[in-house]
Structure 1
Amino acid sequence: MQHENTTAPSLAQLSQADLSALRHRFRAAHGAQAIARVLLEDAADLGALLEIRDREGLLSALACCTHELYAFHEAAYYDAVNPDDAEGGAQ
Structure 2
Amino acid sequence: MNLPPDSEVRRVRAHGLVQGVGFRESCVAYARANGVAGWVRNRGDGSVEAMLQGPPALLDRMCDWLRHEVPGARVDALDVRPEAAPVEPSSGFERRPTL
Structure 2 length as normaliser, TM-score?
0.26
Between Structure 1 and Structure 2, the one with more strand by share is: 2
Higher RCO (CA-CA < 8 Å; seq separation 6+): 2
Structure 1 length as normaliser, TM-score?
0.28
